[in-house]
Amino acid sequence: LRIQYEGLLGSAAAGAAEVEYILNLGKESVVPTEGLLEANRLLLAYGVSATDTRRELVKFFSDFGSATGLSAARLQDMAYALGQVEAQGKANQIDMRQLANAGLNLATVYEKIAEQQGISAAAAKNLTSEGKLTAAILTPAIIALGDNYAEAAEKARNSTRGILANLKDITKINAGIAFESLLESLKPALRFAEEFAEAFDFTPIAKSFENLVNTMRLSLGALSADAASTADTITKSIGY
């Protein structure tokens, strides 16, 4: 994971910090950590480069998903739609429909936009058709909606289901960290095996196997072509 995020962020330190943030968030979320990591990766891929904005969006996904029980796949669809808006610079009606299909209540989104922009909810909704709903307007509104789900998310985390989900995630994360050093120590042996397999000439082995097959074929040549009869003859010949 750290290597993948290093590639996405262009820095080993930034990649490690990003993974650390998501892993810690995952320990407190009902949403599986893998789902949050993939949502974050989608945001990065579509150019949501501001670290604070990206982390606040992932925190929203965590709280929203925990509170509503929305699947990680639907949250990733939401991240995909928001990433597209970031790449385009503004949201169109298709983008908003994608957000709605992913599980977001657009009425609450427009209400939050209206509150932040000091306009009516109707005027906020018209921003989309007018081509004026920029990422700079939409993204902060969605992030601010996280406050609406924080309390429910906390209750979900403290439920039996939430505790079991967190236990599963924490165990998986800690096991991965524990085995990371082991895998690192095995790297020289794995590298040797890779180089050996690449350099080793398997031709003599293949030739020997071919000779063995030919010998068996010659030995059985005088036997009946019928498989059952051949098997019976061989069985009797070894005194079974």
The predicted pLDDT at position 208 comes to 79
Using pLDDT thresholds of 50, 70 and 90, give the confidence band for residue 12.
Answer: confident
Structure tokens at 164: 């079991």
Which of 73-87, 122-136, 168-182 is predicted least confidently? 168-182
For Cα atoms 196, 180, 44, give the angle at the middle one, nearest 5 degrees.
100
pLDDT exceeds 90 at position 176: no
Q: What letter would DSSP give residue 30?
A: S
The stretch 116-129 carries a mean pLDDT of 95
Using pLDDT thresholds of 50, 70 and 90, give the confidence band for residue 234.
Answer: low
The stretch 33-53 carries a mean pLDDT of 89
Using pLDDT thresholds of 50, 70 and 90, give the confidence band for residue 64.
Answer: very high
Q: What is the percent of the chain with per-residue pLDDT over 90, rounded to a whole number?
A: 40
The predicted pLDDT at position 50 comes to 86
The stretch 44-55 carries a mean pLDDT of 88
The predicted pLDDT at position 214 comes to 75
Return d(Cα 14, Cα 171) in angstroms, integer. Answer: 25
pLDDT digits (tens, 9 = 90+) for 183-206: 567 667 767 777 777 777 778 887
Is residue 198 a contact partner of residue 191, using CB atoms and an 8 Å limit?
no
The predicted pLDDT at position 96 comes to 95
The stretch 8-13 carries a mean pLDDT of 76
The predicted pLDDT at position 189 comes to 73
Top-ranked range on mean pLDDT: pick from 11-25, 61-75, 109-123: 109-123
Residue-averaged pLDDT of the chain? 82
- For residue 90, report the phi and psi dihedrals to the nearest 5 degrees: -155, 165
The stretch 34-56 carries a mean pLDDT of 89
Higher pLDDT pick, 43 / 186? 43
Q: What is the DSSP string of 85-139?
A: HHHHSB--HHHHHHHHHTT--HHHHHHHHHHHHTS-HHHHHHHHHTT--BHHHHH
